[in-house]
């Protein structure tokens, strides 16, 4: 019986950093192709590159970096990861529903918020059905 996972390999953190940088570059290129201002392309890059930089800066702290890289070092870090994911999902749901309501009142196009709210809601329902069978 094992109680924990092994320590995350450094390669995993490196690949997460590289994936963040690559994603940032792809977003920047996509935004520039649409003729958008450079600052918006840089912002798109900065969001993902910032996350990658966070991983790089904290790489000395293996516990944190392992969790951020999606590989918690033990069960407590797994719980921390779950709680953080739960918090992020709650924020996403609030933004989706809140954004939909605000834009509806303003009479602006709001299909993106509606789509986001539907995806969050359906994925939550799917999660309940799935984990009810698995846990």
Task: Indicate the residue among 2 and 34 with the shorter CB distance to other proteins.
Answer: 2
Q: Which of residues 72-131 bind other proteins (CB under 8 A)?
A: 73-77, 79
Q: Which two tokens stand for residue 55?
A: 């991983």
Among the listed ranges 2-10, 20-28, 100-108, 120-128, the one in contact with other proteins (CB under 8 A) is 2-10
Q: To 10 degrees, what angle do helices 38-57 and 10-33 make?
A: 180
Please name the residue ranges forming H helices in the chain.
Answer: 10-33, 38-57, 62-68, 75-106, 111-134
Angle at 52 between CA 49 and CA 56, to 5 degrees: 130
Residue 128 beta carbon to other proteins: minimum distance, rounded to whole angstroms = 22
Task: Indicate the residue among 77 and 113 with the shorter CB distance to other proteins.
Answer: 77
Q: To 10 degrees, what angle do helices 75-106 and 111-134 make?
A: 150
Mask: binding to other proteins, 27-66, rule CB under 8 A, as x and -? Answer: ------------------------------------x---
Binding site for other proteins (CB under 8 A): 1-4, 6, 63, 73-77, 79
């Amino acid at each position: 019986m094992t109680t924990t996972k092994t320590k995350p390999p450094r390669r995993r953190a490196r690949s997460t950093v590289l994936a963040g940088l690559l994603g940032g570059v792809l977003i920047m290129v996509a935004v520039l192709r649409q003729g958008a201002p450079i600052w918006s392309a840089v912002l798109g890059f900065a969001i993902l590159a910032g996350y990658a930089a966070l991983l790089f800066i904290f790489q000395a702290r293996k516990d944190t970096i392992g969790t951020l890289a999606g590989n918690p070092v033990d069960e407590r870090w797994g719980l921390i990861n779950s709680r953080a994911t739960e918090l992020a999902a709650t924020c996403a749901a609030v933004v989706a529903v809140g954004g939909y309501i605000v834009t509806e009142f303003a009479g602006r196009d709001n299909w993106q918020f509606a789509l986001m709210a539907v995806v969050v809601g359906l994925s939550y329902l799917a999660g309940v059905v799935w984990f009810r069978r698995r846990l």
